[in-house]
């Protein structure tokens, strides 16, 4: 007898369900792994960003710490670096002295610029393999000015009886000033001059394309014509402008401001009365006249007297001068006749190793194409100086040179004595970077004809002309209280940038 077998209900479906369950589980595993991987990547990215923020903050904290250090004096740090552990940073200091060709590691000792490169490190690295960004670097550049109690601190040129610039002169003296005690100051030139101008008792005249990248202050009138430019502020008793003259900053005059039709005043104009076409804000100048923006106090004429020796020769540990300023110098060489390059070089060689004085009562005349090399700080005393014909002054390391014509009538005023003559520099004469020169004479100073000069000038009247280049470097007057030339002081920030690509 045949039996019919009937399949159990749902047996085939159970196999299909198992396959479906396995598929769903596989999908869930894949989704779980994907979410987990994404979470880990997100966590790594988040911690990497956090590490980058921490490192950036640490780098910026390093710049702030460097500013504090430099504001209170040159930081005493190992190998020119400032380090901290919380927050963690390392700051490298370097400086570019005024007129120097390249940056050098270390703290600034003269006017110019200081650069800080700060590298900050995060407190913890990123997770999930995202360790990049745990360090950040920031670079900041600040100007460096010179401040101090020395009468010459911050003064690039002191002209007792007048100052003038003609025919394409360039002056590099950021943060310093040209100070004219009595008489006028004029710039009829095409040069760009980075310096403040202060005229204590006189007028200012700017013409052609003279550029003054600083502040101008005058007790008297200011006349600006041509395409002359004052890049900062101008303060005077009266102002007259013409052509396309410009003042980029604010203008303050106690009297009449006569503004020409082509003139541009970039800031506010404050005047007692006005005339002409005005395109700027006008205020009333009833208040007291502001002082110079730089705050530089009136230094007055500095009397420096020297008595010539009666005997020619070399003298060791000579302290015969009554003026204590000369006590800085240890030895002395007294020359006869006019001092030429060869005579000065022989005397400088004899003084190598210690500060010394070279006496040239009959004058100095350096010409030709030779080089006067200094091996120590030296003062040359003469009744007249002439430097010409592409000669140079140089040194293997940093030294100071004083070129002095004595003021034989110490009365707080410049007086050129009967035997003295002008101080003259012409025909491509050059002072190289390692020598900073203080010119002191109660007579006229004339520097011209493509000459390159660096240091300070303290003269009766001063004239710069004919493609000359003048670079300010603080020297100070002879003597223990001033040869240091003031203290470098941190100025304004000029730039800041990230160095992270």
493 confidence band (pLDDT: 50, 70, 90): confident
**DSSP-based three-state secondary structure for 25:** helix
pLDDT exceeds cutoff 70 at 147: no
pTM of the predicted model as reported, rounded to 2 decimal places: 0.73
pLDDT exceeds cutoff 50 at 67: yes
How far apart (Å, rounded) are the C-alpha atoms in residues 468 and 430? 10
Long-range contacts of 217-220 (CB under 8 A, 24+ apart): 217/291, 217/292, 217/293, 218/185, 220/184
Which of 94-108, 156-170, 243-257, 309-323 is least confident? 94-108
281 confidence band (pLDDT: 50, 70, 90): very low
Query: How far lies 303's CA from each of 154, 411, 440, 458, in Å?
Result: 18, 7, 10, 11
Which of 52-56, 148-152, 297-301, 432-436 is least confident? 148-152
Question: Is pLDDT larger for residue 324 or for residue 169?
Answer: 169
Query: How far lies 7's CA from each of 2, 12, 235, 462, in Å?
Result: 16, 10, 113, 124
pLDDT exceeds cutoff 70 at 59: yes
The residues that bridge with 469 in the sheet, in sequence order, are 170, 452
How far apart (Å, rounded) are the C-alpha atoms in residues 314 and 388? 27
**DSSP-based three-state secondary structure for 133:** coil
Question: Is pLDDT larger for residue 127 or for residue 48?
Answer: 48
Residue 419 is encoded by which pair of tokens? 């035997």
Query: How far lies 93's CA from each of 116, 172, 225, 391, 447, in Å?
Result: 5, 23, 43, 36, 36
**What is residue 387's predicted lDDT score, i.e. its pLDDT?**
94
Residues 6+ apart with CB under 8 A from 134: 51, 52, 55, 121, 122, 125, 126
Mean pLDDT of 420-442: 94
Give rounded-to-5 percent helix, strand, coil for the chain: 15, 40, 45
Q: DSSP letters of 165-204? A: EESS-EEEEEEEEEEESSS-EEEEES-EEEEEEEESSS-E
pLDDT exceeds cutoff 90 at 139: yes
- What percent of the chain stands above pLDDT 70? 79
Name the CA dihedral angle for 271, 273, 278, 283, rounded to a multiple of 10 degrees: 40
Highest mean pLDDT among 281-290, 372-381, 405-414: 372-381
**What is residue 323's predicted lDDT score, i.e. its pLDDT?**
76
How far apart (Å, rounded) are the C-alpha atoms in residues 283 and 288? 13
How far from each other are the two terminal CA atoms of the chain, in whole angstroms?
Answer: 94
**What is residue 19's predicted lDDT score, i.e. its pLDDT?**
73
Question: Is pLDDT larger for residue 62 or for residue 68?
Answer: 62
The values of phi and psi at residue 71, to 5°, are -75, -20
pLDDT exceeds cutoff 60 at 149: no
- Contact indicator for 315, 331 with CB cutoff of 8 Å: yes
**What is residue 279's predicted lDDT score, i.e. its pLDDT?**
45
**What is residue 470's predicted lDDT score, i.e. its pLDDT?**
94
Mean pLDDT of 32-58: 67
**DSSP-based three-state secondary structure for 4:** coil
pLDDT exceeds cutoff 50 at 232: yes
Tell me the longest C-alpha to C-alpha distance in the chain.
161
pLDDT digits (tens, 9 = 90+) for 350-394: 999 999 999 999 999 998 889 999 999 999 999 999 998 899 999
- Residue 85's CB is within 10 A of a number of other CB atoms, namely 7
**What is residue 21's predicted lDDT score, i.e. its pLDDT?**
66
Question: Is pLDDT larger for residue 486 or for residue 292?
Answer: 292
Residue 378 is encoded by which pair of tokens? 């030296």
- Contact indicator for 195, 494 with CB cutoff of 8 Å: no
Of 472, 431, 484, 482, nearest in space to 214 by CA: 472
**What is residue 417's predicted lDDT score, i.e. its pLDDT?**
87
């Amino acid at each position: 007898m045949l039996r019919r077998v009937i399949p159990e209900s749902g047996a085939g479906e159970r196999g299909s369900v198992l396959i479906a369950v396995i598929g769903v589980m596989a999908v869930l595993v894949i989704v779980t792994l994907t979410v987990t991987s994404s979470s880990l990547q997100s966590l790594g990215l988040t911690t990497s960003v956090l590490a980058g923020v921490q490192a950036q903050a640490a780098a910026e904290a390093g710049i702030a710490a460097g500013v504090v250090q430099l504001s209170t004096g040159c930081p005493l740090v190992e190998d020119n670096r400032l380090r901290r552990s919380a927050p963690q940073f390392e700051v490298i200091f370097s400086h570019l002295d005024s007129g120097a060709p390249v940056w050098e590691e270390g703290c600034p000792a003269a006017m110019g610029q200081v650069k800080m490169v700060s590298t900050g490190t995060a407190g913890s690295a990123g997770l999930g393999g995202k360790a990049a960004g745990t360090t950040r670097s920031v670079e900041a550049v600040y100007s460096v000015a010179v401040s101090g109690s020395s009468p010459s601190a911050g003064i690039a040129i002191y002209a007792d009886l007048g100052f003038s610039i003609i025919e394409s002169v360039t002056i590099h003296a950021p943060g310093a000033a040209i100070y004219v005690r009595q008489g006028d100051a004029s710039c009829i030139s095409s040069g760009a001059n980075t310096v403040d101008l202060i005229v204590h008792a006189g007028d200012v005249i700017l013409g052609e394309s003279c550029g003054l990248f600083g502040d101008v202050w005058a007790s008297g009138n200011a006349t600006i014509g041509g395409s002359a430019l004052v890049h900062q502020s101008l303060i005077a008793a009266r102002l007259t402008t013409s052509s396309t003259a410009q003042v980029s900053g604010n203008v303050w005059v106690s009297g009449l401001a006569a503004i020409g039709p082509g003139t541009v005043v970039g800031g506010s104009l404050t005047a007692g009365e006005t005339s002409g076409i005005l395109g700027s804000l006008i205020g009333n100048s009833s208040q007291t006249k502001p002082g110079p923006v730089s705050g530089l106090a009136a230094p007055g004429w500095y009397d420096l007297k020297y008595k010539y020796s009666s005997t020619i020769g070399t003298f060791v540990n000579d302290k015969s001068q009554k003026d204590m300023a000369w006590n800085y110098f240890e030895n002395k060489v007294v020359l006869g006749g006019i001092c030429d390059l060869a005579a000065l070089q022989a005397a400088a060689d004899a003084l190598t190793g210690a500060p010394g004085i070279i006496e040239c009562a009959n004058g100095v005349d350096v010409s030709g194409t030779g080089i006067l090399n200094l091996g120590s700080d030296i003062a040359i005393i003469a009744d007249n100086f002439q430097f010409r014909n592409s000669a140079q002054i140089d040194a293997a390391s940093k030294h100071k040179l004083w070129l002095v014509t004595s003021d034989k009538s110490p009365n707080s005023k410049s007086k050129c004595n009967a035997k003295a003559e002008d101080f003259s520099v012409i025909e491509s004469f050059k002072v190289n970077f390692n020598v900073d020169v203080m010119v002191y004479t109660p007579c006229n100073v004339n520097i011209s004809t493509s000459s390159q000069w660096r240091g300070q000038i303290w003269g009766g009247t001063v004239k710069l002309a004919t493609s000359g280049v003048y670079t300010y470097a603080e020297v100070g007057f002879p003597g223990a209280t001033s040869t240091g030339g003031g203290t470098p002081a941190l100025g304004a920030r000029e730039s800041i940038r990230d160095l992270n690509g």
